[in-house]
Amino acid sequence: MIDFDRDFYTLLRQIKETFLEAYKHQNYPFEKLVNELNIPRDISRSPLFDYVITLNTEQHHLELGELEVSHFGFDFNMAQFDMSFNFSSFDNLLILNLNYNKDLFKSTTIQRVLENIKRLMKNVLQIPKQPLKNLSFVEQDTQRFRTNSLPKSSILDLFEAQVSKTPNNNAITFYNTNLSYKELDRLSSRVANYLREKHAIQEGDVVSFLLERSELSVISLLAILKVGATFLPLSSTLPKDRIKYILQDSQSKFMITKENLKAALKYKNTQKIQISKALNQLAYIIYTSGTTGHPKGVAVSQKSLLNLCHWYIEDFEINVKTKSLLMIPTSFDASIKNIVAPLLVGGSVTISKEQFDAFDIKTIIEEQKVTLVNCVPSAFKAILDVSKTYQAFKSLKYLALGGEPLDIALFRKFYLQSNCQLFNIYGPTEACDISTVYEVQEEDMYRKNIPIGKAIPNVQIYVLDGFDALAPIGVPGQLVIAGVGLAKGYVHNPELSNESFVEHETLGRIYKTGDLAKLLDNGEIVYLGRDDDQIKIRGNRVELSEIEHKILELKEIESSFVLVKNNTLSAYIKPVQKVKTKMVKEYLENTLPSYMIPIEFIKIKSVPLTANGKVDKKSLLSLQTKVKKESTKNL
């Protein structure tokens, strides 16, 4: 075992001791060792190891009279192992010959390995006493990031300019309701003045709105910005206890509802309110699942939101002809760019009703001639499933799918039969919704893992190893994000903010996503999964520990474990007294969103443990096929 806190000299001594001990057994027959270990044979690889390092230090001097003798170099045409690092030394030189299996590695990969080895050796020789974990051998490539000039005008400045340019253009469509830019501007100004004069809302205050998705959501969002406040969208489907916690935690000064909005929309004052419009002030707060049993609020600045919107406008060619579909709940950050970006350049936002209805959305796309759709892959697959043909989508030019891994096989037929450009997008709430983008190509149609692409402008994406150093290309590590897109942090939670948003020695301020990924040769990023218990259900971020904490709030429960199987949640409960599963489920329904409610609750008499004392999750999952699921019976 290597101690990476020690220096290179310590490692040399350790290796020397290991080799001296191993030399005691150097005469043990290799074939006998393989037979004793009873290793299954595979003719395509070596039975014990795939990589070999050899060092030849023997100096051979051959004299043949007056003949001159020199070394003869030749290429191996076969590889016995995946890689063989063959070192040889003579005339005070150290030469490395790397033999590799070309069926497994590209020549560019091998060249990069050699360059990394050379860089590592130089660093070791320069500072041999530094900890091994600090040894750098990967060169930072800053050329792969896109940069654009940062926004200087505020969201309101750009919106108001667009109102002046296209006052009569359609801004919002919600079934039979249509609002022009002029009407949207006037109505949002009424609500803004209502907030200022009737409820004393000032710059920097937090104002929430609890509304079903409609034109009223957009009016409220703009009104809150016009009064200089931070908007906090809430879902009407959230349990009352969760809403109450969010309002208290965010210190929301006022909540807009359908009832009080009626009076606000009739307010006579439509004067423009003078505010600072500073780009570093907060634009919005979005609450996501947390590990402590409570959701956490992510605070995002106007600068971050503007950078996101400018990318969206540029890459998806949003303009006065764009008809963007808003089908994502407004309580999710993914909805915000679909509202704001089109309104900055004269586009139109078409809104579907709050309850997801695949047939209804398909009809909206067809009748309203929608050109841009952004949603989770599973939602768009449901829309495709209710369509006999793809004629309903002939107006669609751009489809941005994110929030879930993209299984391209589900969209292969649609992609090949349509003129729509398909994008795989990725990003956490803590980095303003989207951090990377990848345009799917025809050659990707049979690819198992579609890349999440490259960073959007003014955002940097890195893959770090376990010591927070840059991981080599192709090596899995944690995905971290830097740049303009980063959120300010978590609302009123500096401790958690400092854990997730850290100052890196060379990369600056970064957000640790907890996602595993690897960097490809071409600079694309491939998402590999999570390194913790955070998951996504129907595109919604879920911390399993938050559900477990909620279950343990019940005095009747001693232990609780929530696991995922086939994209659904299962709860394993060890009760201390009789309790009805129905009561446990009802308690969760009153405190958690519907997508965080397990579909089954399974009784366990004891908690299975692994050899090292950890919870044996595999054993728990196997109980699903052995234990009768409880519904209303006593545990």
Contact present, 436 and 410 (Cβ < 8 Å): no
Domain containing residue 391: CATH number? 3.40.50.12780
Residue 69 domain-assigned (yes or no): no
545 and 513, same structural domain? no
* pTM, rounded to two decimals: 0.82
207 and 315, same structural domain? yes
Pairing of strands 600-603, 568-575: parallel
Domain containing residue 86: CATH number? 3.30.559.30
> Distance (Å, rounded) from C-alpha 497 to C-alpha 515?
17
Q: How confident is the model at residue 106 (pLDDT cuts 50, 70, 90)?
A: confident
Question: Which domain range does residue 81 map to?
Answer: 8-60+74-138
Contact present, 423 and 401 (Cβ < 8 Å): yes
246 and 185, same structural domain? yes
452-476 pLDDT, tens per residue? 999 999 999 999 999 999 999 989 9
Place of tokens 């070999």: 52
146-203 pLDDT, tens per residue? 998 887 899 999 999 999 999 999 999 999 999 999 999 999 999 999 999 999 999 9
539 and 514, same structural domain? no
The helix or strand, by DSSP H or E, that contains position 503, with its residue range, turns out to be strand 501-504
Residue 633 domain-assigned (yes or no): no
553 and 512, same structural domain? no
Mean pLDDT computed over every residue of the chain: 90
pLDDT value at position 43? Answer: 74
Domain containing residue 600: CATH number? 3.30.300.30
- Return phi, psi of residue 56, to 5°: -110, 110
41 φψ region: left (φ > 0), alpha (ψ -120 to 50), beta (else): beta
Q: How confident is the model at residue 293 (pLDDT cuts 50, 70, 90)?
A: confident
Lowest-pLDDT range, 330-334, 519-523, 564-568?
564-568
Residue 375 scores a pLDDT above 70:
yes
456 and 601, same structural domain? no
Residue 124 domain-assigned (yes or no): yes
- Return phi, psi of residue 631, to 5°: -125, -65
As a whole number, mean pLDDT of residues 553-582 equals: 89
Residue 145 scores a pLDDT above 80:
yes
Residue 66 domain-assigned (yes or no): no
Residue 383 domain-assigned (yes or no): yes
> Distance (Å, rounded) from C-alpha 487 to C-alpha 84?
46
193 and 79, same structural domain? no
CA-wise closest residue to 548 among 566, 529, 535, 530: 535
161 and 133, same structural domain? no
371 and 252, same structural domain? yes
Any bridge partners for residue 284, and if so which?
A: 231, 300
pLDDT value at position 40? Answer: 79
Residue 517 scores a pLDDT above 60:
yes
Pull the structure tokens for residue 503.
């100052």
492 and 515, same structural domain? yes
388 and 273, same structural domain? yes
| Total domain count, the chain | 3
